[in-house]
């Protein structure tokens, strides 16, 4: 068996999508894609064909690791956007070969931190990543609420609380001292080009909280889903609960009939926000682990 590693940039989008689909057969969720969706994802999430790697066995492409690099607060940080191997070639050490290849790319590019997410149930993948030097640093929650809210608003404010909203784009949060810059890749402001932000400000106009989120729309233009990616209050605030509720009230709009509300890759370590969401009737669905490696 002759194994050759090449860069994804040597493949067409059609070839890349085919490798991806074969590599994720029998996965925990349906990861099937098309040429168009695969190409769009590369652009939306900052994944680089010239940095991603493909494994060939006897001239047949059988696996890949997608990756991208961002400069975050002066540090080069890489994200593993998917490691996959065709069913017939699993269990033969190709995962380790692919990971070694992509870590070599990181070294060549001067990456300081490697990050990735893996489904909690995917014990084999997690064991591989640990063997390659990654550590689990948090759990990532997908909390959901599919029912409409009743007349009681779980995000209502305490009497006397006085804040105001400033709606905007995701980039608006990057300058905040308490912005979660090292959050999972897809939840960072740079990965939410079609998302929205809300800043919570005090009476003096200072930003004391924020949220990053995205709305989806049905064919008639009505909001069909709202997804929360980040939410935080300034750490020194004693009224942090109220600030977070104020932000979540704007994000989830309890008065609106929406088919689905939820979180995406939301860190369990953000205990205050998780507690408030659970008190509001959000319940867990799937869960991932967040892993990091100091290069």
Number of residues that make up the chain: 295
Q: What percent of the chain is predicted at pLDDT more than 90? A: 90
Alpha-carbon torsion angle 104, 50, 70, 293, nearest 10:
-20
d(CA 68, CA 114): 10
43, 66 in Cβ contact below 8 A?
Answer: no
99, 52 in Cβ contact below 8 A?
Answer: no
Topology alike, domains 3-111 and 142-289 = yes
Q: What is the pLDDT of residue 162?
A: 87
Q: What is the pLDDT of residue 165?
A: 94
Helix (H/G/I), strand (E/B), else coil: 266: strand
- The string of pLDDT tens digits covering residues 90-147 is 999 999 999 999 999 999 999 999 999 999 999 999 999 999 999 999 999 999 999 9
Helix (H/G/I), strand (E/B), else coil: 161: coil
Q: Calculate the alpha carbon distances from 234 to 182, 200, 212, 215 in Å.
A: 16, 10, 15, 25
Secondary structure letter of residue 149 according to DSSP: P
d(CA 180, CA 211): 10
d(CA 174, CA 194): 16
Residue 206 confidence class, pLDDT cut points 50, 70, 90: very high
pTM: 0.94
Residue 229 confidence class, pLDDT cut points 50, 70, 90: very high
CATH of domain 142-289: 3.40.630.30
139, 265 in Cβ contact below 8 A?
Answer: no
Q: What is the pLDDT of residue 143?
A: 98
Q: Where are the domains of the chain?
A: 3-111, 142-289
114, 103 in Cβ contact below 8 A?
Answer: yes
Q: What is the pLDDT of residue 159?
A: 61
CATH of domain 3-111: 3.40.630.30
Which residues are bridge partners to 196 per DSSP? 213
Q: Calculate the alpha carbon distances from 292 to 197, 256, 282 in Å.
A: 26, 38, 28
- The string of pLDDT tens digits covering residues 149-203 is 887 889 987 666 789 999 999 999 999 999 999 999 999 999 998 999 999 999 9
Tell me what the pLDDT averaged over the chain comes to.
95
Secondary structure letter of residue 156 according to DSSP: P
d(CA 22, CA 38): 14
135-156 in b/e form (b: 16+ CB < 10 A) is eeebbbbbbbbeeebeeeebbe
> How many beta carbons lie within 10 A of that of residue 271, not counting itself?
9
Which residues are bridge partners to 136 per DSSP? 291
d(CA 20, CA 172): 34
């Amino acid at each position: 068996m002759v194994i050759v590693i090449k860069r994804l940039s040597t493949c067409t989008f059609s070839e890349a999508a085919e490798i991806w689909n074969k590599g994720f057969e029998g996965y925990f969720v349906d990861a099937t894609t098309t040429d168009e969706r695969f190409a769009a994802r590369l652009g939306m999430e900052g994944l680089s064909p010239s940095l991603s790697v493909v494994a060939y066995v006897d001239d047949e492409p059988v696996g890949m690791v997608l990756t991208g690099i961002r400069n975050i607060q002066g540090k080069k940080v890489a994200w593993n956007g998917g490691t996959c191997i065709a069913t017939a070639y699993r269990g033969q050490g190709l995962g380790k070969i692919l990971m070694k290849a992509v870590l070599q790319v990181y070294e060549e590019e001067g990456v300081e931190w490697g990050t990735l997410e893996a489904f909690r149930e995917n014990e084999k993948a997690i064991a591989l990543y640990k063997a390659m030097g990654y550590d689990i640093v948090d759990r990532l929650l997908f909390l959901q609420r599919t029912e409409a809210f009743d007349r009681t608003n779980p995000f209502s404010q305490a009497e006397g609380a006085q804040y105001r909203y400033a709606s905007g784009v995701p980039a608006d949060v990057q300058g905040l001292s308490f912005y979660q810059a090292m959050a999972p890749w897809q939840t960072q402001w740079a990965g939410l080009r079609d998302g929205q932000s809300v800043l919570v400000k005090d009476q003096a106009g200072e930003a004391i909280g924020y949220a990053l989120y995205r709305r989806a729309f049905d064919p008639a233009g009505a909001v069909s889903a709202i997804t929360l990616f980040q939410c935080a209050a300034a750490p020194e605030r004693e009224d942090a609960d109220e600030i977070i509720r104020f932000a979540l009230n704007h994000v989830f709009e309890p008065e609106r009939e929406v088919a689905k509300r939820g979180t995406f890759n939301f860190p369990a370590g953000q205990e205050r926000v998780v507690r408030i969401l659970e008190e509001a009737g959000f319940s867990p669905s799937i869960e991932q682990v967040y892993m990091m490696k100091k290069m």
